[in-house]
Amino acid sequence: MLHYPESDADGASNLPPASSSRPQPQPERVRYVLYGSLRGLDRVIKILHHYGYADPNDWCEPIPVPTPGASGEPPSATELPKPWMVVMDKILRLE
């Protein structure tokens, strides 16, 4: 049989107060910005998903990073691939 706490004369129960002495965690927004090639960004996003830290859908679509002096011509064989960026906001609970 279950035992329910009895009420005081004024109807209050004998349970301890609901508030604890520990402060409640405060939410804080953190922004992650990754720069790199599309292949590199895809790999990092998959790694973070594998570890359960971020879902791939949490990231924005890749955005091309403007480069100074970009003329719109195709890159030469010695140039690095065009950089891209992805962004994700995450809410963390800080104590």
pLDDT at 59 over 70: yes
Q: Is residue 56 a part of any domain in this protein?
A: yes
Which residue range(s) make up the domain with 85?
Answer: 27-65+81-94
Provide the pLDDT for residue 80: 65
Domain-embedded: residue 35: yes
pLDDT of 9 reads 57
Q: How far apart are CA 35 and CA 45, in angstroms?
A: 12
Best CA proximity match to 82, nearest among 36, 32, 33: 36
**8-51: pLDDT as tens digits:** 555 556 666 666 677 788 899 999 999 999 999 999 999 999 99
Residue 8 lies in a domain: no
> In this predicted structure, what is the pLDDT of residue 24?
81
pLDDT of amino acid 55: 95
Structural domain contains residue 52: yes
* Residue 37, in any domain of the structure: yes
Domains held by the chain: number: 1
Let me know if residue 70 belongs to a domain.
no
pLDDT at 56: 95
With respect to residue 3, please indicate whether it lies within any of the assigned structural domains: no
Supply the mean pLDDT for the chain.
Answer: 81
Segments in 1-50 forming alpha helices (H): 38-50
The whole-number pLDDT of residue 22 equals 72
Q: Is residue 15 part of a domain?
A: no
